[in-house]
Amino acid sequence: MTIRDALGFRDALVVRDLCKAFGKPAVDRLSLTVRGGEIYALLGKNGAGKTTTLRMIVGLLKPDAGEIRVFGVDALVDPRGAKQIMAWVPDEPMLYDRLSPLEYLEFVAGLWGIEPKTARDGAETLLKWLDLWEQRHERCEGFSRGMKQKTALAGALIHDPRLLILDEPLTGLDAAAARQVKDVLTARARAGATVIITTHILEVAERIADRIGIIQRGQLLAEGDLAELRLRAGEGKGTLEDVFLELTSDGAAPAK
């Protein structure tokens, strides 16, 4: 038993030797650990395998090999048990254009089997928090990208997930909407939830992430907080961008 275990910390996500190939390997023996209550940023170039990894974690893709544990639940043996405590927000919001935000949350709450009263109260809180309450009866078809993303985020939060996974949640958002989404994520982490995000906006990762994982060609290249990554990259006071570019330059070796 480690000291962290003894203190009651529990890893939110443990991935071991995860593999997935689409003709050629997309994810290649990837292992990573995300601690409970932290914000973890998964970075990588386009096509590095980030989205494939996340889709396997949330149960949308079946891995060729490997192990995924979400708060101790084996996601490959008990996918429903794992899904019950997770939420997934892809880069394109999963919405129904002809449903209103309130109707959307009603349906999502049903999917996760939330008690009607809890769901109704939660929906009201979330929509007010995300400045969507005035639009709760309007259909999503006329929403801006930011409003759609916030509606999808409300859907992901309605069942109060312990692990929240977001793929490029800030793409295409204006400054105000991006700020709101970032505030939501940090608030959830402060409340004890674990957040995993992928992003190409490295400043965001630098500012909000507790730890960062960098993957390349489906393998974990480096993992740690910014100081650890700087050390590994030999970039004394460099920004995350400097560290990322250094580590992902050709010739960098995968993390042990």
CB of 101 to another protein, least distance (A): 10
Amino acid occupying residue 168? E
Is there binding between residue 198 and another protein (CB under 8 A)? no
Q: Is 215 left (phi over 0), alpha (psi -120 to 50) or beta?
A: beta
H/E stretch holding 178: helix 175-190
Candidates 31-39, 54-62, 190-198, 230-238: pick the segment binding another protein (CB under 8 A): 54-62
Centre a 10 Å sphere on the Cβ of residue 166 and count the other Cβ atoms it contains. Answer: 23
How many residues lie near another protein (CB under 8 A)?
Answer: 42
- Buried b / exposed e over 105-123, threshold 16 CB at 10 Å, is bbebbeebebeeeebeebb
Residue number, 110 or 192, with CB nearest to another protein: 110
Q: Determine the Cα–Cα distance for residues 30 and 255; give it in Å rounded to an integer.
A: 10
When binding is defined by CB under 8 A, the residue of 18, 58, 68, 181 that contacts another protein is 58
**How are beta strands 65-70 and 73-74 bridged, if at all?**
antiparallel
Which of 49, 63, 155, 169 binds another protein (CB under 8 A)? It is 155
Residues 67-126 that bind another protein (CB under 8 A): 80-81, 83-84, 86-88, 90, 94-100, 102-103, 105-113, 116-117, 119-120, 123
- Nearer to another protein (CB atom), residue 197 or residue 222: 197
Whole-angstrom distance, CA of residue 214 vs CA of residue 222 = 5
Per CB under 8 A, residues contacting another protein are 58-60, 80-81, 83-84, 86-88, 90, 94-100, 102-103, 105-113, 116-117, 119-120, 123, 135, 137-139, 141-143, 155
